[in-house]
């Protein structure tokens, strides 16, 4: 039956390859060295059909027209007020307390 060898490292070096190898003079001759590589590059996110659709909608709705921005702000304020009203009548916690 094979035995699992339980060795504890006497030193651990973390960093880039250059940083770790700069300590090679500290490693005794004949010592066993284990090098673990961790991929730190983020994996690219593949764009799904939903993400593409949302990006298209955002581009279509984008505006800097002050009249449209003001209308959207008023519409949002009215929405918050309408969502709060039934909860206000029931003396419940408001969904949008900043809207009052």
pLDDT digit string, tens, across residues 33-70 = 888 888 777 788 899 999 999 999 999 989 999 999 99
41 in any annotated domain: no
Whether residue 23 is predicted with pLDDT greater than 70 in this model: the reply is: yes
Backbone φ, ψ for residue 8 (5° rounding): -100, 135
49 in any annotated domain: no
pLDDT at residue 28, rounded to an integer: 84
* Residue 96 and residue 87 in contact, taking contact as beta carbons nearer than 8 Å: no
Q: What is the mean pLDDT of residues 14-38?
A: 84
**Total domains in the fold of the chain:** 1
**pTM for this entry:** 0.45
DSSP string, 68-90: HHHHHHHHHHHHHHHHHHHHHHT
Q: Domain range spanning residue 86? A: 61-99
pLDDT at residue 57, rounded to an integer: 95
């Amino acid at each position: 039956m094979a035995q699992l060898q339980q060795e504890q490292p006497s030193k651990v070096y973390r960093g880039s390859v250059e940083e770790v190898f700069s300590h090679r003079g500290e490693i005794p001759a004949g010592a066993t060295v284990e090098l673990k590589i961790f991929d730190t590059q983020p994996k690219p996110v593949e764009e799904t059909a939903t993400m593409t659709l949302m990006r298209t909608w955002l581009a279509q709705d984008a505006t800097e027209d002050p009249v449209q921005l003001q209308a959207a702000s008023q519409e949002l304020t009215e929405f918050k007020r309408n969502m709060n009203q039934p909860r206000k009548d029931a003396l419940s916690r408001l969904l949008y307390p900043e809207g009052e």
